[in-house]
Amino acid sequence: MKNITLLFATLLISYITFAQEIELEPYASGFSEPVDLKNAGDDRLFVVEQGGTIKIIDGNGIVLSNDFLDISGDVSGGSEQGLLSIAFHPDYANNGKFYVNYTKTNGDTRVSEFTVDSGNPNLADPNSEVTIIEIAQPFSNHNGGCLQFGTDGYLYIATGDGGSGGDPNNLAQNTTNLLGNILRIDVDNPIPGATNYGIPADNPFAGDPSNREEIWAYGLRNPWKFSFDSATNNLWIADVGQGEIEEINRVGGSEAGLNYGWRCYEGSEPFNTTNCPPAGDLTFPVAEYNHPTGFSITGGYVYNGTLQPSLQGLYFFADFATSLIGYVDSNDNLTNLGSFGGGWSSFGVDIDNELFIVNYSGSVSRIIEAPIIGVEEHTTTDFSFFPNPANEKISLQIENDTFASVSILDIKGSVLFSEENIAQQHKDIDISTLSQGIYLLKATTAGNNSFTKKLVIQ
């Protein structure tokens, strides 16, 4: 990724198609300007409100009346400031530690550690705050704010370029400060007498006092949400553009020291290349979209749940300003699913990797598959097939009848496979030559019954 040329990067930038393959299922509401959603390794969801409070949705979808945490008196409000994110320690079940990112009343960024109340799992101990790191902010906007723990156990922190417009101090290209970066720190092994965190030995600038050793990646404008793919450990970063382009970056989770190009480039296009490194030293986005399609990207997650098989492996994102929701597939094709009428401020996943989206106006919805018109989605005792999703073959089974014919069609209705005169209750079909996607499986029986079901090929 690091040596990608500008030409090659441009070829990777995805075309935009239009489809409608999801629905939003209402899950919980009544929140005040929610901006983050996380789980703590159990069936609860924690909703971060920008004003400084965190609420809990229990496993039944009920919003608890008490706040999990209220630090509103310590948080600056308005615009892009506030309480921005939460992350639970990988060993939260045992140590009760979690971390929040907020802007203090003077506008500077603070990442703090809190501990859950020893007697009530639905309350944090408000007196347990330990400051982990503070970052001076020259302007009020572009605070980044997202927190995530990696599979390596380290805490990753997104910071914006310090604000204003056009990164006037070129901070995102300056590795002697902590702005415009993804930071990576060790909260379990602090440096005695120095900081409340340690520097992982494989950080790109570890042991180099001429650069900030906390930096994992740099050259970002305002990364509004990043996440790790729970299946591949790829790192996905959505970076809000200046005036033309919203971008999505994807790299391997262990790729350190990458320069994502801001302010030299906005997405794949030059912005201000004065004193910039060669384009070949930069990492360009795998997908992007232009204004006015959207103006403020919100990053999400790769769907790795099981309840929505046709969505598996897709990276979902949204736009705060234009309400669009879209996804990027495994081939880096960007699909715009259209406007869903919300100010999408965040995504989240539950303990089962089911995907949720957060509306800044105060609600949380679950992302589900949209039914295909005319396709029977429920299972019957007469006809079944497995596996689904599949990648090599599928097995069809019917009771009290036999198959007369079976066919597989693409969504446009083109027949890709067909076989007649089967006269069997069991049928195996080789699907290894079919591309990843959604198909229709049609079967007729000797008794003149017919079935149409959705088939997902991985």
User: Which CATH number is 383-457's, of 3.40.50.2300, 3.40.50.970, 2.60.40.1220, 3.30.2350.10?
Assistant: 2.60.40.1220
Interatomic CA distance for residues 124 and 108, integer angstroms:
23
- Which pair of tokens denotes residue 66? 């008490």
Interatomic CA distance for residues 51 and 75, integer angstroms:
7
* Residue that wins the pLDDT comparison between 377 and 258: 258
Q: Beta strands 383-386 and 363-369: pairing type?
A: unpaired
Is the model's pLDDT at 5 over the cut of 60?
Answer: no
Give the whole-number percent of the chain exceeding pLDDT 90.
81
Is the model's pLDDT at 93 over the cut of 60?
Answer: yes
Give the whole-number percent of the chain exceeding pLDDT 70.
93
Interatomic CA distance for residues 267 and 318, integer angstroms:
17
Beta carbons within 8 Å of 331's beta carbon, 6+ residues apart: none
For residue range 296-317, list pLDDT tens digits in order: 999 999 999 999 988 999 999 9
Is the model's pLDDT at 11 over the cut of 80?
Answer: no
Beta carbons within 8 Å of 298's beta carbon, 6+ residues apart: 224, 225, 238, 317, 318, 319, 320, 344, 345, 346, 347
Q: What is the pLDDT of residue 412?
A: 61
Q: What is the dihedral of CA 388, 392, 397, 401, to 10 degrees?
A: 120
Is the model's pLDDT at 12 over the cut of 80?
Answer: no
Instruction: Please give the span between the terminal C-alpha atoms of the chain, in angstroms, as a whole number.
Output: 25
For residue range 253-272, list pLDDT tens digits in order: 999 999 999 999 999 999 99
Q: How confident is the model at residue 411 (pLDDT cuts 50, 70, 90)?
A: low
DSSP conformation letters of 388-442: SSBSSEEEEEESSS-EEEEEEEETT--EEEEEEEEEESEEEEE-TTSPSEEEEEE
- Burial call 380-392: b when 16+ CB within 10 Å, e when fewer: eeebebeebbbee
Q: How confident is the model at residue 116 (pLDDT cuts 50, 70, 90)?
A: very high
- Which pair of tokens denotes residue 425? 């209750």
Q: How confident is the model at residue 422 (pLDDT cuts 50, 70, 90)?
A: very high
Q: What is the pLDDT of residue 388?
A: 85
- Which pair of tokens denotes residue 186? 């060790």
User: Which CATH number is 22-369's, of 2.120.10.30, 1.10.3720.10, 3.90.650.10, 1.10.10.10?
Assistant: 2.120.10.30
| Rounded (5°) CA angle 85-206-252 | 60
Q: What is the pLDDT of residue 310?
A: 87
Is the model's pLDDT at 19 over the cut of 60?
Answer: no
Is the model's pLDDT at 17 over the cut of 50?
Answer: no
Q: What is the pLDDT of residue 440?
A: 87
169-183, 184-198, 304-318, 384-398: segment of lowest average pLDDT: 384-398
Domain ranges of the chain: 22-369, 383-457
Beta bridge partners of 354: none
Over residues 168-192, the mean pLDDT reads 97
For residue range 332-347, list pLDDT tens digits in order: 999 999 999 999 999 9
Cα torsion 274, 278, 283, 288: sign:
positive
Interatomic CA distance for residues 201 and 294, integer angstroms:
39
Beta bridge partners of 155: 149, 185
DSSP conformation letters of 190-243: --TTT-SSB--TTSTTTT-TTS-TTEEEE--S-EEEEEE-TTT--EEEEE--SS
In 3D, which of 287, 284, 257, 250 has the Cα closest to residue 270? 284
Mean confidence (pLDDT) of the chain: 92
Interatomic CA distance for residues 230 and 262, integer angstroms:
27
Is the model's pLDDT at 16 over the cut of 80?
Answer: no
Beta carbons within 8 Å of 47's beta carbon, 6+ residues apart: 28, 31, 34, 36, 37, 54, 55, 56, 57, 63, 358, 364
